Structure 1
Amino acid sequence: MAQHTSDHGYLLDNRQSEAGIRFGALSELFDPVTFRHVDQLGIGPGMRCWEIGAGGPSVPRGLAERVGPDGAVVATDIDVSWTEGIAGGVIEVLEHDVAADPPPGGGFDLVHARLVLVHVADRAEALRRMVGALRPGGVLLLEDADPGLQPLLCPDESGPEQRLANRLRSGFRSLMAGRGADLEYGRTLPRLLRESGLDDVRADAYFPITSPACTVLEAATVRQIRGRLVAAGLATDEEIDRHLEHVETGRLDLATAPMISAWGRRPRQP
């Protein structure tokens, strides 16, 4: 989840202390969705998987359980500080930039990236490399956010606490856009997969409207970017403190941007 962009790189740096908290919350929110797709796609014993922008350890470990001792999972990121401890057995961890470095060799039955490409400056090149790494019949599963489809942190904007939350979320989106993030990327995934020559392209979308993990994710995210919000004039320290107090009550119905999951299969050779 830490692929560099233009400007000064990924807004949510893996090396910040809040990153581990964010990875845990994202895992709780989205792992069930990811593995529902992985299982429906038939990923199982003996297969080779490439997990891109792995961030935390949960997805590589889940893939390793499915491919078993005769399979392989290659987990890559530009910053492997949160995944290097899981290397061993069928899991290989590599420092790697998906848009600049050659794909790991050997070909893959599954290539997966979650909440990665929206942050990558050269998304088209990264996608080309992912498709090229597929074995015939292999599947590319991309999952990315589309804040433009649902931009609010509090869809039920029922009072001043919710209005403040939504204003800070708007500031967060501004910071992301300033670093090259495409806030409408998720919706383009089905078309991009078809244009890349993949077959049987399908997609769906998911976002929670309220969850304890949303509360944890929001608090960690705001703490991680508060200095940038203040420096850009998007919020004051007092407003951020007030928002964090509101979040910690657990009484705000906090949502995430929709995560679009899209998948397609490389044609089998005749």
Structure 2
Amino acid sequence: MAEEQGYLLDNRRREAGERFAAMAELFDPWTLQHLDRIGVAEGWQCWEVGAGAPGVPRALAERVGPGGRVLATDLDTSWLTELPGNVEVARHDVVADPLPEGRFDLVHARLLLVHLPDRQAVLERLVEAVRPGGWLVIEDADPQLQPLACPDEHGPDQVLANRIRRAFRALLAERGADLSFGRTLPRLLRTAGLTQVAAEGYFPLTSPACRTLEAATVRHLRAELLAAGVTEAEFDTHLANLAGGELDVTTAQLITCWGQKA
């Protein structure tokens, strides 16, 4: 994939660590309550696809115990450190590389498919990796369903935040992201033959982690946002507003969808 068509938020940048920490605070409790709901237990074999950070693999390792296994894969595994012995870390391109050997009780991916132009084919591959009776859990954003940084747009600071968020969404779309993908997950999992398909949506209306994530994201994309028409003064004002602690920013809606393989 050409660089200009690749993942917008390069995990090799320093800001990636800040983003991972903020997303873990925001989303890990939500993710884990759904993984617990389907019954992740001692001895399970789990594949965490596009893992990024260590939080979910570590939590899965605790649940499957020494008799289970967690495979955590990503194109960039540099953040997947200090994990227990029942976690295997591997570099893996889910688009091009062969599937891992064996079949899994759980295959989970969060905020991955939305960024892949060939997301439909990847979803089919993930279904193939699930053993009969196992579960696929896909969590992806739907920025068009909840497009605003500040839903309560009551003043100039909120207007600015939403304008910068629109510029960010445009950059995502230019890189091939499907900004309405999250809402399609129930249909896609049913079409893939999964049963007991259900889904829920989540977005935290405000929290310090939301502001941290927003600040790390816009710093990461400074050059791209400035090229898209955000001025230096607007950029600096937005960061100052976030640092002030009173700007209520949120994330795109996260759709969590799960289904069982017959």
With normalisation by structure 1, the TM-score equals 0.95
Aligned-CA RMSD value: 1.2
**Residue 15 of structure 1 corresponds to which residue in structure 2?**
12
Give the aligned residue type for 2:162.
Answer: N
**Residue 112 of structure 2 corresponds to which residue in structure 1?**
116
Matched, 1:78 2:75: yes
Give the aligned residue type for 1:11.
Answer: L
Aligned equivalents of 2:174, 2:260: Cα separation in 1: 33
97, 112, 125: which one pairs with 2:93? 97
Q: Is the Cα contact below 8 Å between 2:54 and 2:79 reproduced in 1? A: yes
User: Tell me, what secondary structure is at the counterpart of 1:86?
Assistant: coil
Matched, 1:239 2:234: yes
Q: Is the Cα contact below 8 Å between 2:58 and 2:84 reproduced in 1? A: no
Give the aligned residue type for 1:155.
Answer: P
Matched, 1:24 2:21: yes
Q: Is the Cα contact below 8 Å between 2:5 and 2:174 reproduced in 1? A: no
Q: Is the Cα contact below 8 Å between 1:5 and 1:119 reproduced in 2? A: no
Matched, 1:263 2:262: no
Q: CA deviation at 1:97?
A: 1.1
Aligned equivalents of 2:84, 2:207: Cα separation in 1: 34
Q: Is the Cα contact below 8 Å between 1:198 and 1:266 reproduced in 2? A: yes
Q: Is the Cα contact below 8 Å between 1:5 and 1:121 reproduced in 2? A: no
Aligned equivalents of 1:147, 1:78: Cα separation in 2: 24
Structure 2 unaligned regions, length at least 5: none
Moved more, 32-41 or 85-94: 85-94
Aligned residues: 262
Structure 1 unaligned regions, length at least 5: none
Residue-by-residue CA offset, 1:192-239 (whole Å, 9 max, x unaligned):
000000011000000001001001101100100011111233x01111
Q: CA deviation at 1:87?
A: 5.1
Give the aligned residue type for 2:176.
Answer: G
Aligned equivalents of 2:131, 2:251: Cα separation in 1: 34
Matched, 1:161 2:154: no
Residue-by-residue CA offset, 1:129-151 (whole Å, 9 max, x unaligned):
10000011010000000010110
Give the aligned residue type for 1:250.
Answer: G
User: Tell me, what secondary structure is at the counterpart of 2:20?
Assistant: helix
**Residue 42 of structure 1 corresponds to which residue in structure 2?**
39
Aligned equivalents of 1:245, 1:62: Cα separation in 2: 35
Moved more, 180-189 or 95-104: 95-104
User: Tell me, what secondary structure is at the counterpart of 1:184?
Assistant: coil
User: Tell me, what secondary structure is at the counterpart of 1:177?
Assistant: helix
Q: CA deviation at 1:121?
A: 1.6
Q: CA deviation at 1:8?
A: 3.6
Q: CA deviation at 1:7?
A: 3.1
With normalisation by structure 2, the TM-score equals 0.98
Q: CA deviation at 1:57?
A: 0.5
